[in-house]
Structure 1
Amino acid sequence: MATTSKRKESMADRVYEALKDDIFEFRLIPGDKFSEGDVGTRLHASRTPVREALYRLQREGYVEVLFRSGWQVKPFDFQQVEELYDLRITLERAAMHKICALSEEPSAIRMLTAIWNPDHPSERAVGSTVRALDESFHCDLVAAAGNREMTRIHREITDRLRIIRRLDFTRDDRVDATYVEHAAILEALRNGQASEAADRLTHHIRASQKAVREITMERIREAAAAHRSGQQIASQDA
């Protein structure tokens, strides 16, 4: 019995990861509709693990169930994204002031400085590694301020923004800018310049926000065009 349960759980995890990857890579674009049967057939999975995976994605805000119509990739709510960015900036600016008010420099600041001030450009991270490091940079800064509730709320916002923030590192110029801007923020913090650090941080986040919105819209347009092209080819073959 336990073996069967583990097998189902493992299949649900595989379906979850496959669907999430489809959403992140825009193979499933915002607004796309599908049924549990479609997913099961494509991923060779039974109904139970498919449903478990979909409910998990629903809880995380990636898909939504449609009354008697299956499922849908949740459309982007850009107003909500703007509001989440506003809240994120508010929390991170407050963290800058709290860090500068501490009697001792947090060890996290020294560790982050080592990461974002490499001795040579060849030591910079790439791809998914730089995405993970960027997320850790912002989360570690907030955590260094020492307010657990602030840290918790910031982590929740980070989770909700991850689907679009990851696109900020698909262009080399944005990776270069991230290293320069992170280093400037850390320099201001280490000099005790709370307002300067907060202003640099705000500029950095707003630039990233603008870039990911542009990239998101571009990727959605490209994916939608590919969908239409595929449908036309399928129609002609039929």
Structure 2
Amino acid sequence: MNALPPGARRHSAYEAIKAMIVTGHLAPGRRVTEQDLTEQLQVSRTPVREALNRLQRDGLVVERPRTGFAVVAFDETMLHEVFDLRAELDAYATRLAVDRITPADLKVLDDLLNAGDEVARTDPTRLGRLAEMELGMDLHRAIARCSGNTLLAETLDGLLIKCQVFVWMELTQMQEFETARADHRAIVGAIAAKDAARACTLSRCHIRQSRDGILGLMHMRRDLRDFYVGKG
């Protein structure tokens, strides 16, 4: 990895650390230091430091005085705040996209859908699932860009980054990949048909159902923990 140019090293370190957080390799609350990550990723401290600063801006890590950084706690409060706001902004972006979509834009969306299908068909590994999730996120980002509202697209990008830990939890532990792909196709189909009402409804339902599924999973985990603690 050290053979990469500086810009690529910075990007690679950021993506690698983010993937470790999203997939739970770096658990919520865990302390992370430049030294540990430098050794794991086999890069110098500079790209790791820049990656951690960027992840702090993304809201995935927080700085701890004299101890480095810690992964944020992805709790129910954050779940509701992020997904409820995203549901409304995503639907708004979708409505704007219906009015502004071009044939070239639709091809971008179709290409992302097809790429997700291909990954699902050919790569059942954990890395394949991560790639499929990223393609789904990229589809939402592409729809937001089609809205023509740059600030809206940037805001949604920040929310999507915060959503990734929760979405990974839902997709992998509840086996919701196929459902997510079907939802995405339905949303794009409604956009292509210029059916703004249906596209917005599908977008909101997609995000709210994801939120509710994750919330149920979090409650089940809490109940199991309380049950075993009570038995002890």
Distance of aligned partners of 1:186 and 1:217 in 2 relative to their CA distance in 1, 3 Å threshold? same
Q: Does 1:98 align with 2:100?
A: no
> 1:211 — aligned with what?
213
d(CA) in 2 for partners of 1:144 and 1:21?
27
> 2:109 — aligned with what?
112
> 1:75 — aligned with what?
73
- Mapping for residues 15-94 of structure 1, pairs under 5 Å: 19-33=17-31, 51-94=49-92
> 2:144 — aligned with what?
142
Distance of aligned partners of 1:30 and 1:217 in 2 relative to their CA distance in 1, 3 Å threshold? farther
d(CA) in 2 for partners of 1:188 and 1:10?
38
Amino acid corresponding to residue 53 of structure 2 in structure 1 = Y
SS at match of 1:146: coil
> 2:228 — aligned with what?
none
Q: Out of 192-201 and 26-35, give the one that drifted further.
A: 26-35
d(CA) in 2 for partners of 1:125 and 1:92?
30
d(CA) in 2 for partners of 1:105 and 1:43?
41
Distance of aligned partners of 1:81 and 1:190 in 2 relative to their CA distance in 1, 3 Å threshold? same
Distance of aligned partners of 1:124 and 1:206 in 2 relative to their CA distance in 1, 3 Å threshold? farther
Q: Does 1:157 align with 2:159?
A: yes
Once the two structures are TM-superposed, the CA of residue 219 in structure 1 deviates from its matched residue by 8.6
Give me the identity figure in percent.
Answer: 27
Amino acid corresponding to residue 95 of structure 1 in structure 2 = A
SS at match of 2:163: helix
Q: Deviations over 1:33-83 (max 9, x none)?
A: 355566567777787666555434333322223234443222224323322
For the pair shown, the structure with the greater C-alpha radius of gyration is 1
Amino acid corresponding to residue 183 of structure 2 in structure 1 = E
Do the aligned residues in 2 keep the contact of 1:35 with 1:70 (CA within 8 Å)? yes
How many residue pairs end up in the alignment? 216
Distance of aligned partners of 1:125 and 1:178 in 2 relative to their CA distance in 1, 3 Å threshold? farther
Do the aligned residues in 1 keep the contact of 2:120 with 2:132 (CA within 8 Å)? no
Distance of aligned partners of 1:28 and 1:156 in 2 relative to their CA distance in 1, 3 Å threshold? closer
Do the aligned residues in 2 keep the contact of 1:117 with 1:179 (CA within 8 Å)? no
Once the two structures are TM-superposed, the CA of residue 198 in structure 1 deviates from its matched residue by 0.8
> 1:235 — aligned with what?
none
d(CA) in 2 for partners of 1:60 and 1:36?
18
Do the aligned residues in 1 keep the contact of 2:166 with 2:214 (CA within 8 Å)? yes
Once the two structures are TM-superposed, the CA of residue 87 in structure 1 deviates from its matched residue by 2.2
Q: Which runs of 5+ in 1 are unaligned?
A: 1-5, 223-238
d(CA) in 1 for partners of 2:118 and 2:110?
15
Give the TM-score of the pair, scaled to structure 1: 0.67
Distance of aligned partners of 1:124 and 1:215 in 2 relative to their CA distance in 1, 3 Å threshold? farther
d(CA) in 1 for partners of 2:190 and 2:25?
41
Q: Out of 167-176 and 179-188, give the one that drifted further.
A: 167-176
Give the TM-score of the pair, scaled to structure 2: 0.68
Amino acid corresponding to residue 147 of structure 2 in structure 1 = A
Q: Out of 150-159 and 211-220, give the one that drifted further.
A: 211-220
The root-mean-square deviation of aligned C-alpha atoms, in Å, is 4.2
Once the two structures are TM-superposed, the CA of residue 22 in structure 1 deviates from its matched residue by 3.6
